[in-house]
């Protein structure tokens, strides 16, 4: 192992103590490893050029999601360290960082491929494309009104809906907004995608699970209504007047680095099902 990239959520490390500690730990284990810090979003392009052996992300789930969207096409594995609130996507808590580095440098880890999806639409004369590790959500600007739309899968009509919105989720995102809306928990390395309507009218209230390579089209949206999408919970994007929105599997996989003793079901119980205090990020 020659180089490691590091991204720390700047809001969590105002005085730079985490940065100092991280570099100290890595250098103590192997002084020949080059440690590169990427503090700003724009620096991810530089990380893709430098191609570190893996990328350590310190923050909450939002920080990891951001890194995944920016690094997925570079095929750089991501190792998440929780210094946020929930940290469900993280491999470890901050207090375990030193022992984790020791295990990684001894090769005691594995890479897990995670499906990502691409959301695209044409507005005006430009095509917009967004990458997502968790989900794409379509909803009305005025939540007091119902949203009407149609769903097609692989060019075949699935169903028309009247609901508060709809969630197109990856397995990774199945425990996020999808679960809150009544959708199923999906094991993270499956190559599938789920469609979950939010508070739908009518008798059909369940989700549908599709092959991950399915092409999903949302159409039939009233062109006069204020409608938005959010991708991985980011800033809403106005899609008013858009004829159709396409969602499909991204050609690249997000690679998450996990230690050999990582236990998905233990994390699922503690951080999602039981929501114990352990989901609070550790102090350094």
Q: Is 202 annotated as a binding residue?
A: no
* Residue 247 bridge partners (DSSP): 119, 216
Give the mean model confidence (pLDDT) for residues 55-59: 94
Query: Which token pair is 122?
Result: 């044409």
CA distance 97 to 13: 16
Specify the pLDDT at position 284: 44
pLDDT surpasses 90 at 264: yes
CATH topology (fold) of 117-249? Tumour Suppressor Smad4 (2.60.200)
- Using one digit for the tens of pLDDT, what is the confidence trace for 164-208? 999 999 999 999 999 999 999 999 999 999 999 999 987 777 899
Q: Is 176 marked as a binding-site residue? A: yes
Within 8 A by CB and 6+ apart from 25, the residues are 97, 98, 101
Q: Which fold has domain 3-114+253-279?
A: Rossmann fold (3.40.50)
Q: CB pairs under 8 A, 24+ apart, for 180-183?
A: 182/206, 182/207, 183/207
Q: State what percent of residues in the chain have pLDDT above 90.
A: 74
Closest to 188 measured CA to CA, from 174, 172, 211, 200: 172
What is the pLDDT at residue 44?
76
Is 177 labeled as ligand-binding? yes
Pairing of strands 78-82, 54-59: parallel
Distance CA(24)–CA(7), nearest Å, equals 15
Choose the weakest-confidence range: 32-46, 138-152, 155-169, 255-269: 32-46
For residue 120, pLDDT beyond 90: yes
The packing angle between helices 97-105 and 17-29, to 10°, is: 30
Q: Which band of pLDDT confidence, cut at 50, 70 and 90, is reported for residue 276?
A: low
Q: Give the pLDDT score at 205.
A: 72
Does the annotation flag 162 for ligand binding? yes
178 in a labelled binding site: yes
Q: Please report, for the chain, the start and end positions of each structural domain, with discontinuous segments joined by +.
A: 3-114+253-279, 117-249
Mean pLDDT of 67-89: 90
Please say if the pLDDT value at position 72 is more than 80: yes
SS3 210: strand
Distances from the Cα of 202 to the Cα of 85, 98, 103, 137, 281, angstroms: 37, 53, 52, 20, 41
Q: What residues form DSSP beta bridges with 255? A: 113
HSE-CB for 37 with a 13 A CA cutoff? 14
Give the pLDDT of residue 40.
Answer: 66
User: Per the annotation, does 62 bind a ligand?
Assistant: yes
pLDDT in tens, 210-259: 999 999 999 999 888 899 999 999 989 999 999 999 999 999 999 999 99
| Phi, psi values for residue 261, rounded to 5° | -95, 10
Q: Provide the annotated active-site residues.
A: 61
- pLDDT tops 60 at residue 283: no
179 is in an annotated binding site: yes
């Amino acid at each position: 192992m020659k180089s490691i990239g590091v991204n720390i959520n700047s809001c969590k490390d105002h005085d730079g103590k985490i940065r100092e500690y991280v570099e100290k730990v890595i250098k103590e284990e192997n002084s020949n490893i080059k440690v590169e810090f990427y503090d700003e979003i724009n620096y991810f392009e530089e990380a893709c050029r430098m191609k570190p052996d893996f990328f350590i992300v310190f923050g909450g789930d939002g920080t990891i999601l951001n890194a995944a969207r920016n690094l997925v096409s570079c095929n750089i594995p991501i190792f998440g360290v929780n210094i946020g609130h929930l940290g469900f996507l993280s491999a470890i808590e901050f207090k375990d960082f030193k022992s984790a580095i020791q295990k990684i440098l001894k090769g005691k880890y594995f890479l897990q491929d995670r499906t990502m999806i691409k959301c695209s639409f044409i507005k005006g004369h430009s095509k917009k494309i967004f990458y997502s590790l968790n989900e794409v959500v379509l909803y009305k600007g005025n939540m007091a009104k119902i949203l009407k739309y149609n769903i097609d899968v692989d060019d075949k009509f699935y169903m028309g809906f009247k609901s508060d919105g709809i969630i197109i989720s990856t397995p990774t995102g199945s425990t996020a907004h999808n679960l809150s809306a009544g959708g199923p928990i999906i094991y993270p390395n499956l190559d599938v995608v789920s469609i979950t309507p939010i508070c739908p009218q009518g008798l059909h209230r369940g989700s549908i699970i599709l092959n991950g390579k399915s092409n999903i089209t949302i159409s039939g949206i009233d062109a006069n209504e204020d409608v938005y999408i959010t991708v991985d919970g980011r800033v809403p994007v106005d899609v008013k007047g858009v004829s159709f929105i396409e969602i499909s599997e991204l050609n690249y996989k997000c690679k998450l680095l996990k230690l050999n003793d990582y236990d998905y079901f233990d994390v699922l119980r503690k951080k999602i099902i039981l929501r114990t205090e352990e989901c609070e990020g550790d102090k350094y």
